[in-house]
Amino acid sequence: MLSYSRGPDQDLWELTIGQVLDRAVERWGECLALVSCHQSKRYTWRQLRDAADGVARGLVSLGVRRGDRVGLWSTNCAEWVLVHMACARAGAALVNVNPAYRTHELAFTLYKSRMKVLFLWERDARAEYAQILDEARSGKQLGLEHAIFFGTDQWEKLRTESAENSDLVQPEDVANIQYTSGTTGQPKGVMLTHRNKVNNGKLLAWGMRYTERDRICVPLPMYHCFGCVIGTMSALASGAAIIMPNWTFDPRATLQAVQTERATSLYGVPAMFIAELGLPNFKSYDLSSLRTGMMAGAPCPVEVMKRVMCEMGCAELTIGYGQTESTPVVTMSTPDDPVGLRVSTVGKALPCTEMKIVSVLDGQTVPTGEQGEVCARGYMVMKGYDGEPEATARAIDADGWLHTGDVGLMREDGYIHLTGRAKDMIIRGGENVYPRELEEFLYTHPKVAEVQVVGIPDERLGEVVVAWIRLKAGETSTEEEIRNFCEGRIAYFKIPQHVRFVEEFPMTVTGKIQKFRIREIETRERGLEKVAKRETA
């Protein structure tokens, strides 16, 4: 039996984001749509559409037309959702700009995206955005015509313009451009269509059984695909409310928002859930309203998921898997799946989605149970990388399959177990070590709160295994204790040669742990730069 599966058939919507917003207003116009806790702002679906339409008319008055690019450079706020919806109504492609960007990265994004308008705050606690923008534009020929600052007369005036949009927006139009993190080379702009985003939101809402009575707590950054699509479009499709706890992730603000707004669903990457569970006063929060949620965006440790389900009362917690290039979710567990299945796999193909596992050597589909590269095909595959046809062709083959770069295996029932990134696999003396497998084992140590495993260069073996471990509060341990825990329980070649105890891990602003930085630190501190640079076959 080959590693191929297809999710059940379901009608897909041939609608734009704006049309789905109209549908939400028709069905749930007076229901709560958006709460920005830190701004004390609340909108019903009708109020949200009316406010977004005001911004859309303002965009048209600035000369924005169908297909033009509009940037949004901000942490989480009500204005983020308004501009998101306004761009969709006006037919513009929303360009998500990471709030952590500084002069160099911003200049690159302004040039690469060819945006005509940029929305931003003048400043916040972390940055002077207006100053950074001035520096990024200095001496450069960019297409940016307007910078609109939130919270100013300029923003208020824009929202009262009366220009009407005459361009007919189509489902296949690019609705969103999101820049990948650029782990190799410069970041690439992933082009997502209305059809991509609308239907991923629809199928996620179906998978989590959302209705207009649900309230989704979204502590994730909105500029990231998890926040922008999973956090927004699943609510748009179902009438559920979006609850934003804070400008940026804060575990206390998140649990307070769940308690105050009686959230029924909670989203997050594993590091966010770990931070919430680790609060000294965690048990003081009333989380009894929680029913479901999604943990995604990074490998989900089994022990962490179990704690979220038991200690946070999130009995129907799901795991989602995908990437920005797939809008993002392609596989998902269901609330009915046994706990053991939910904590050991990333679920199976969503409706209207094909999945297969192929050999990294020849691209042929491998038998079930064998490891290979995870590939996906269907409505959700990106339109391509903006202005980069060669990179697009490398990611999407001639048959429409998106090659994810992730390694995993498919069970006979179609459920997929991820074993890591192809580039993360450690080859120690000819033996393959999959970091995810070893991390899951180390999580069973009673003192371990969080762990990351990487490979570093070695003169004799090619690579050896290193584990970075953050211990639970009040615990102490030694390298010897960790290795003794492994002895006799896992293969000798998987046992970490080096163990480093840390208080934190290098992370992106979206909460993803940067394994390449861990490798860099270990390589530098152990004086292995020359070994790392040697050529290999």
> 330-340: per-residue pLDDT in tens?
999 999 999 88
Measured CA distances, 487 to 421, 481, 482 (Å): 26, 10, 9
What are the φ and ψ backbone dihedral angles of 258, each rounded to 5 degrees? -60, -45
Q: Please check the confidence at residue 510 and state whether its pLDDT lies above 90.
A: no
CATH topology of domain 46-169: Rossmann fold (3.40.50)
Task: Compute the radius of gyration of the chain from its Cα atoms.
Answer: 23
In 3D space, the residue among 35, 42, 84, 80 whose CA is nearest the CA of residue 215 turns out to be 35
User: What pLDDT, on the 0 to 100 scale, is given for residue 350?
Assistant: 98
Nearest to 199 by CA among 37, 356, 15: 15
Query: How far is 132 from 103, CA to CA, in rounded Å?
Result: 5
User: 361 or 464: which carries more pLDDT confidence?
Assistant: 464
Q: 430-533 domain in CATH 3.50.50.60? A: no
Per-residue pLDDT reduced to its tens digit, 48-62: 999 999 999 999 999
Question: For the chain, which residues make up each domain, given as ranges?
Answer: 1-16+194-355+375-397, 46-169, 430-533
What mean pLDDT do residues 87-110 have?
92
Same topology between domain 1-16+194-355+375-397 and domain 46-169: yes
Q: To which H or E segment does residue 377 belong?
A: strand 372-378
| Residue 503 DSSP code | S
For residue range 246-287, list pLDDT tens digits in order. 999 999 999 999 999 999 999 998 889 989 999 999 999 999
Q: Which fold has domain 1-16+194-355+375-397?
A: Rossmann fold (3.40.50)
Secondary structure class of 288 (helix, strand, coil) = coil
pLDDT one-digit tens code per residue, 383-441: 999 999 999 999 999 999 999 988 999 999 999 998 777 777 787 876 768 788 789 88
Residues 6+ apart with CB under 8 A from 311: 277, 282
Identify the band that residue 536 occupies on the pLDDT scale cut at 50, 70 and 90.
very low
209: confidence class by pLDDT, cuts 50, 70, 90: very high
Q: Look at 82-91, 108-117, 143-152, 490-499 and tell me which has the smallest mean pLDDT.
A: 490-499
